[in-house]
């Protein structure tokens, strides 16, 4: 089975490719990637094809830092659910460890090793595929993404002990210096970012331990699921698609690599429907979202996939016989024929 990666890895590819004189759609077609991968961040695409795309782009543009250029505007959100759980961690070190633990959900061929040595933390991105191929561009992209996460988590003035690459230096070090600063070394034994442990123990004031626990439960379910039914798989996709506002049967079928009739048929065999699973997931999510009084109702509506607050309000009243605002005032006293609203 080929290694896969979320197409969010192609974030900014169109802009970067055009900035160096490439036609992005022609390039992705040449390596066998779907055109939709440039716009839909949640498709699963071939990791080897993505690596070939980076190498081909660097070669055709006659530059040796194409992969690094892709990382300059990357955020935690580009990592999808993995980025969500990392965002809610209490310290920078816990954030990096969460990325390492759940990186397989972003790509089954990319991992992150985190090791402590004498007051230092060594962070090593590893790209593992079954075939031998040039990896410079993919390696620099991975290193750049991790470094940007560290810098945005700490401060723009934070500096590592050093950033090491196993390959040789580029023709020009300008972009490396702009992204990593002056402490960059080439020709090292491994690719690694070396940091002081005390830096990574800094707390993250905006973290939410309750939300982190919910997300962890979901990711553990997804990551540990073996032999899941179609209903299970659809439910997992819906958890990710609802907050993004893309929870349609057509989009879900595309994510699963089948057509909508196949999804309907498989769910029918299991005695359920797409709409009933969407309804069930919304009812699982809503109590958790409403539990935070600082989260506006319009944002709760968006996170549940409703196009407008009014649509959410009608749905909530139909389900629970009261308004969401009233439920917030007395969450343990309200129920309906479907059961008490769960707050986790």
Q: What are the tens digits of pLDDT across the range 179-221?
A: 999 999 998 877 899 999 999 999 998 888 888 888 888 788 7
pTM, entire model: 0.67
Is the same domain home to 155 and 34?
A: yes
Instruction: Please give the residue that has the higher pLDDT: either 94 or 135.
Output: 94
Is the same domain home to 317 and 237? yes
Instruction: Note whether 130 and 18 are same-domain residues.
Output: yes
Q: Which residues of 146-156 are buried (b: 16+ CB within 10 A; e: fewer)?
A: bbbbbbebbee
Is there a single domain that holds both residue 195 and residue 235?
no
> Does residue 66 sit within a domain?
yes
Query: Measuring CA to CA, how many Å separate 343 from each of 185, 211, 216, 290, 315?
Result: 50, 12, 16, 8, 18
Task: Please say if the pLDDT value at position 97 is more than 50.
Answer: yes
Please tell me whether residues 81 and 158 are part of one structural domain. Answer: yes
In a domain, 110, yes or no: yes
Q: Which of 200, 216, 238 is the C-terminal boundary of a domain?
A: 200
Asked if 150 and 11 sit in the same domain, the reply is: yes
pLDDT for residue 130 is more than 70 = no
Residues forming beta bridges with residue 336, ordered by sequence position? 339
Residue 10 domain boundaries: 4-200
What is the per-residue pLDDT for 91?
Answer: 96
Give residue 118's region: left, alpha or beta (phi > 0; psi -120 to 50): left
Model confidence pLDDT, tens digit, residues 154-179: 998 999 999 999 888 999 999 999 99
Domain for residue 205, yes or no?
A: no
Asked, for residue 206, whether it belongs to a domain, the answer is no
192 with 241, same domain?
A: no
> Does 70 fall in a domain?
yes
Q: Do 118 and 263 fall within a single domain?
A: no
Lowest model confidence (mean pLDDT) among 33-42, 66-75, 259-268, 287-296: 287-296
Band the pLDDT of 230: cuts 50, 70, 90. Answer: confident
**What CATH number corresponds to the domain at position 178?**
3.90.1520
Assigned domain for 209 exists: no
Domain count, the chain: 2
Are residue 34 and residue 149 in the same domain, yes or no?
Answer: yes
Mean pLDDT over the full length of the chain: 87
In sequence order, what are the residues at sequence separation of 6 or more whose Cβ sits closer than 8 angstroms to the Cβ of residue 312? 297, 300, 301, 304, 306, 324
In angstroms, the CA 154 to CA 216 distance is: 23
């Amino acid at each position: 089975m080929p290694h896969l990666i979320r197409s969010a890895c192609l974030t900014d590819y169109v802009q970067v490719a055009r900035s160096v004189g490439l036609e992005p759609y022609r390039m992705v077609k040449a390596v066998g990637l779907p055109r939709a991968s440039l716009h839909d961040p949640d498709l699963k695409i071939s990791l080897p094809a993505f690596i070939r795309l980076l190498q081909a782009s660097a070669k055709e543009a006659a530059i040796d830092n194409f992969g690094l250029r892709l990382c300059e505007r990357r955020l935690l959100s580009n990592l999808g659910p993995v980025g969500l759980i990392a965002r809610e961690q209490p310290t920078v070190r816990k954030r990096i460890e969460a990325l390492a633990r759940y990186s397989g959900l972003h790509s089954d061929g990319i991992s992150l090793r985190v090791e402590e040595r004498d007051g230092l933390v060594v962070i090593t991105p590893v790209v593992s595929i079954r075939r031998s191929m040039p990896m410079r561009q993919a390696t620099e992209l991975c290193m750049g993404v991790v470094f940007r996460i560290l810098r945005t988590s700490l401060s723009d003035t934070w500096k590592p002990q050093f950033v090491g690459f196993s390959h040789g230096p580029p023709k020009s070090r300008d972009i490396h210096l702009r992204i990593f600063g002056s402490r960059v070394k080439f020709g090292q034994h491994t690719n690694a970012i070396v940091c002081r442990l005390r830096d990574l123990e800094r707390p993250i004031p905006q973290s939410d331990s309750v939300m982190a626990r919910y997300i962890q439960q979901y990711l553990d379910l997804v990551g540990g699921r073996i032999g899941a039914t179609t209903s299970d798989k659809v439910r997992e996709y819906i958890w990710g698609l609802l907050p993004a506002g893309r929870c349609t049967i057509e989009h879900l079928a595309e994510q699963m690599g089948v057509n909508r009739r196949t999804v309907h048929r498989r769910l029918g065999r299991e005695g359920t429907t797409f709409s009933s699973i969407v309804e069930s997931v919304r009812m699982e999510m809503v109590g958790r979202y409403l539990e935070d009084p600082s989260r506006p109702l319009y944002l709760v509506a968006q996170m549940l996939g409703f196009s407008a607050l009014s649509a959410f309000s009608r749905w909530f009243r139909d389900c629970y016989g009261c308004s969401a605002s009233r439920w917030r005032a007395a969450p343990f006293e309200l129920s309906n024929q479907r059961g008490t609203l769960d707050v986790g």
